[in-house]
Amino acid sequence: MLKELTRMKKKEYDVTIFQTPEFRQNKGYRQVYRLTVQAIDHEDCLYSVFSTFNVFDLIPPDFNGRYIATGDILYIDEGIKGQYYFQLKPGGWKEISRIHIR
């Protein structure tokens, strides 16, 4: 019974990955992949996407980007609950403004 009380409900997040054509560029972001992720919260969602797209055997065959790296942006769309942009920085994921996507 205790296990049932502590289990957190996962939500579906609509996630879009944005990358620049070449690693370490800071302009020219383009959408490279869109997916739905089951996660407890944004942190769990970011961890799940990072884990999936940094292991060769887990990357979907229709993915046209490169491994997730510093500078890449994830867009999480929760519909009426909001839209969030996160960029991978050297210290981890940081929430950013949409202005960064050019």
Has residue 2 been placed in a domain? no
* Residue 39 contacts residue 48 (beta carbons within 8 Å): yes
Whether the CA torsion 11, 82, 63, 49 is positive or negative: it is: negative
Q: List beta partners, residue 36.
A: 14
When pLDDT is averaged across residues 27-49 and rounded to a whole number, the result is 94
Q: Quick one: what percent of the chain has pLDDT higher than 70?
A: 89
Q: Which two tokens stand for residue 54?
A: 């940094």
- Residue 1: pLDDT above 80? no
Closest alpha carbon to 37 in 28, 26, 45: 45
Q: Which two tokens stand for residue 14?
A: 């609509």
Has residue 95 been placed in a domain? yes
Predicted confidence band of residue 27 (pLDDT cuts 50, 70, 90)? confident
Domain extent for 60: 9-100
Predicted confidence band of residue 4 (pLDDT cuts 50, 70, 90)? low
Tens digit of pLDDT for each residue in 68-96? 999 999 999 988 889 999 999 999 999 99
Predicted confidence band of residue 47 (pLDDT cuts 50, 70, 90)? very high
Has residue 65 been placed in a domain? yes
Has residue 37 been placed in a domain? yes
Has residue 4 been placed in a domain? no
Please tell me the total count of domains within the chain: 1
- Residue 2: pLDDT above 60? no
| Interatomic CA distance for residues 22 and 10, integer angstroms | 34
Phi, then psi, of 28 in degrees rounded to 5: 90, 30
